[in-house]
């Protein structure tokens, strides 16, 4: 066989060979991702901090530890430790304390694209970044990042002996700040623009986005924010550090009374069991245990409300779903619920709700669902939007009222409309609004129905309903005027 023929065969083999997997050098070493069907490049499980094990439990995140060779980044990484609440069964079955990782989906490794950083929900005690980078939102010209952070007892407990300069707790928030610092330092290697970062998240992830707006250490790490069904306090007063210490004291007693050393030596399964037994007497349900924000003195040196009053102005989108979640119909005493939520104004609230009268909107759901959607989600979101607008922040507000089966909305139902570009009517999609916002700091653009900015006076918002997309104003003003929590 001639040399020329051999060369031709070799060239043909090279042309038919699959492209080499993408590799990027990051702090710690080199990671190898994979190509997606649409041509995007996907990297999963990239460490942004050292594993928070042993003495690093209940400590600030530390720098990434180097690894040898090329680290595969092609499969879903373990979630952070969490109990099985049903909806999170996959994450609860596949967790590791070595979980401070992030996922990236990018159209390419060159260029300078806006970056959208997703913070997952799950009551700050469950969930993961897993699966979010399956979204093809990157086809719209952005880089998508999804981060993980310590959860529950490992992420938000405040042991007294772990205190630094008298402060402790909010380690999950510290993780998020560490991830944002990693993004700022490294996202250019993935085709992203570190100066054009938009944070977005849902539920506890939305709460954490709002706390990143407030936290002094996070302020310079992103430019814009989208809050989907979550605010700094979910309508509850903030937790003082002394109360956070008291919850940690419970955990230490349940672990055998050996203090912080006992907690750090305990198996993770024991810590997860302890998590289910902790309580906060100020809460109506312990499902909100890690949603009650602690003013720790370090990440949050004072209340988020005061911090936001001093924070640099950023464009924000803030919204909720028409019906979020609440107890089952008939499971609670409505009169008692109104008294607990509205206190001395309970009678006024009962008059405004006017349960059982003709003309009530059925899409608000049963009375208990309507009340909880108001006081935990809708009213805090409106109060926060009003505060920020009064301070001169560019604010856009929305209410989402769509469901695939035509029924009531529910908590998190809008996420596929954002990540999978499900249509919302009038030729629009939430994904287009979100991407426009990430690209230009304004959700409007192209042929999308006009979304007016929110102001403290008109309180205009985008109503997304089965009838279409249209501007509306003064959502729930009377009932939300009875409370002033964010």
Name the residues annotated as catalytic: 203, 324, 411
* Gap between the Cα atoms of 241 and 298, Å rounded: 11
Only one residue has tokens 């994450």, namely 91
* Cα 180 versus chain centre, distance: 13
Strands 395-400 and 113-119: unpaired
Do 96 and 140 meet the contact criterion of CB atoms below 8 Å apart?
no
Q: Which helix (DSSP H) or strand (DSSP E) does residue 206 occupy? A: helix 204-214
Only one residue has tokens 């499971």, namely 331
Only one residue has tokens 């993408």, namely 22
Query: E strands along 134-230, which residues?
Result: 143-147, 192-202, 224-228
CA atoms within 13 A on the CB side of 314: 29
Do 118 and 145 meet the contact criterion of CB atoms below 8 Å apart?
yes
Do 401 and 79 meet the contact criterion of CB atoms below 8 Å apart?
no
Torsional sign, CA 182, 185, 186, 191: positive
How many CB atoms lie under 10 A from the CB of residue 5? 9
Closest CA to 189 of 351, 41, 385: 41
* Gap between the Cα atoms of 160 and 477, Å rounded: 42
* Gap between the Cα atoms of 350 and 354, Å rounded: 6
């Amino acid at each position: 066989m001639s040399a020329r023929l051999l060369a031709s065969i070799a060239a043909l083999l090279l042309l038919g060979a699959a492209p080499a997997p993408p590799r990027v050098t990051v702090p710690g070493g080199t990671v190898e991702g994979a190509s997606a069907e649409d041509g995007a490049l996907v990297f999963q499980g990239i460490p942004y901090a050292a594993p928070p094990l042993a003495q690093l439990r209940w400590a600030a995140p530390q720098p990434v530890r180097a690894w040898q060779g090329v680290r595969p980044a092609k499969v879903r990484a373990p979630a952070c430790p969490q109990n099985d609440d049903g909806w999170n069964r996959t994450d609860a079955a596949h967790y590791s304390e070595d979980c401070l990782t992030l996922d990236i989906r990018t159209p390419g490794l060159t260029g300078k694209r806006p970056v959208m950083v997703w913070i997952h929900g799950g009551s700050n005690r469950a969930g993961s970044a897993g699966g979010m980078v399956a979204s093809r939102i990157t086809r719209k010209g952005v880089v998508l990042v999804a981060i993980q952070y310590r959860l529950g007892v490992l992420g938000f407990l405040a042991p007294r002996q772990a205190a630094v300069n008298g402060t402790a707790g909010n380690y999950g928030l510290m993780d998020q700040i560490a991830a944002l610092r990693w993004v700022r330092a490294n996202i250019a290697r993935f085709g992203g623009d570190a100066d054009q970062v938009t944070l977005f998240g849902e539920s506890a992830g939305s709460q954490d986005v709002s706390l990143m707006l407030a936290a002094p250490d996070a302020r310079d790490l992103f430019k814009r924010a989208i809050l989907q069904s979550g605010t700094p306090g979910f309508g509850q007063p903030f937790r003082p550090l002394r109360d956070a210490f008291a919850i940690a004291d419970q955990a230490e007693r349940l672990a055998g009374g050996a203090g912080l050393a006992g907690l750090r030596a305990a198996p993770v399964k024991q810590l997860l069991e302890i998590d289910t037994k902790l309580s906060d007497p100020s809460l109506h349900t312990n499902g909100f245990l890690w949603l009650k924000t602690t003013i720790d003195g370090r990440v949050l040196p004072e209340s988020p409300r005061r911090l936001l009053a001093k924070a640099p102005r950023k464009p924000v989108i803030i919204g909720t779903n028409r019906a979020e979640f609440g107890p089952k119909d008939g499971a609670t005493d409505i009169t008692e619920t109104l008294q607990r939520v509205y206190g001395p104004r309970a009678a006024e609230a009962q008059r405004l709700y006017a349960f059982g009268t003709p003309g009530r909107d059925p899409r608000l759901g049963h009375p208990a669902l309507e009340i909880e959607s108001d006081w935990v989600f809708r009213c805090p979101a409106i109060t926060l939007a009003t505060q920020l607008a009064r301070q001169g922040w560019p604010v856009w507000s929305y209410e989402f009222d769509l469901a695939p089966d035509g029924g009531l909305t529910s908590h998190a139902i809008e996420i596929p409309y954002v990540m999978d570009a499900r249509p919302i009517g009038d030729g629009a999609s939430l994904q287009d609004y979100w991407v426009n916002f990430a690209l230009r700091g304004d959700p409007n653009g192209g042929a999308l129905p006009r979304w007016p900015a929110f102001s403290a006076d008109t309180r205009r918002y985008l109503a997304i309903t089965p009838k279409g997309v249209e501007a509306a104003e003064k959502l729930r003003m009377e009932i939300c005027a009875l409370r002033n929590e964010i």
